Amino acid sequence: MNEASELVRRIEAGGGLTDPAWRAAFEAVPRELFVPYYYLPAIGGYRRLWRNDPDPGERRRWREGVYEDAPLAIRVRDGELVSSSSQPSLMALMLEALDVPDGADVLEIGTGSGYNAGLLSERLGDSHVTTVDLDPALTETAATHLAEAGYRPHVVTGDGAQGCTTYAPYDRIIATCAVQTVPYAWLTQSADGALVLTPFATGLLPLRIERGDEGEVRGEGRFLQTPAFFVPLRGGPPPWETGAERPKGVPRGAWVDDSFRFALALLGGAAEPAEIFDVWRSAGRPERERYGVTVSGERQWAWLDSPTGGHAWELRSEEA
């Protein structure tokens, strides 16, 4: 059994890769081509492991790390993580949740190493895949990795929040970076019935897209139960970094509770922590899957249990 097949076996053992088409893609795409080096946390910052290290022990550790079911830091700037190759089991979960039919056109927001675009290209054919990233160094490197693996999807340098109009409309959009609101451009570039899947706060949000007769676009969906921690779309502090000090009005037990921390990450820009706590407590400490988001035109709001229920919070558009 080769290393890619062993990685697939571990993901399957954890309950992932139930779709044979995605299982075949993960076995076919060599992750090692997309992460010729990566960074590990070290005292005072990071240290690099790379495939051409003169030390054979370091080369072995690099290769072992490539096929671990773990995220890999691939770009660090001024001591801060800028981009990573996501944990393969989480990538598998997201790709299966994307529910991609044969022949679908997919836009990926956040190219990273190019590995996810490689998996999409293997599954769909590279002419159906567009991937966009703001960092030209990342897109150039990813395009090289993809070509080395035999794939040539559309690799675009640009602001992911604006999508990519060139190859629109898309049947599926998948983001590999966290957002605090859904960029409306993603919806306008989606086909009717499309699915947008994005990390949002510290969860995964699938939005089903509907187009009205007058051209209006609406997206709505409920969070998956899986936690997800991604680098933010436009930089800045990650959404799970909600402050080092416990806010006034929030008991210590809630402050360390994962479900409350999710609510705080989701709603922190729309409500005060004490208000969020009061709703969270009165609603029975709801988990991620009880929350959802609706985007209608330029307006969007988060909600608990129902988009038309009593608990809803306006979210400020990132384009504002």
Domain boundaries along the sequence of the chain: 3-176, 252-315
pLDDT mean over 45-58: 92
Residue 83 annotated among the catalytic residues of the structure: yes
3-176: CATH superfamily: Vaccinia Virus protein VP39 (3.40.50.150)
Strand partners, 83: 75
**Closest listed residue to residue 224, CA positions, set 94, 89, 91, 109:** 94
Please name the amino acid found at residue 233: L
Quote the tokens at residue 276: 């969020």
> In the chain, what is the straight-line distance between the N-terminal and C-terminal CA atoms, in Å?
52
pLDDT in tens, 109-137: 999 999 999 999 999 999 999 999 999 99
What ranges make up the beta strands (E) of 148-233? 154-157, 170-175, 190-200, 203-211, 217-222
Tens digits of residue pLDDT in 10-35: 999 999 999 999 999 999 999 999 99
DSSP assignment of 236-253: SS-TT---SSPPTT--HH
Q: Which member of 83, 86, 89, 121 is catalytic?
A: 83
The pLDDT confidence band at residue 36, using thresholds 50, 70 and 90, is very high
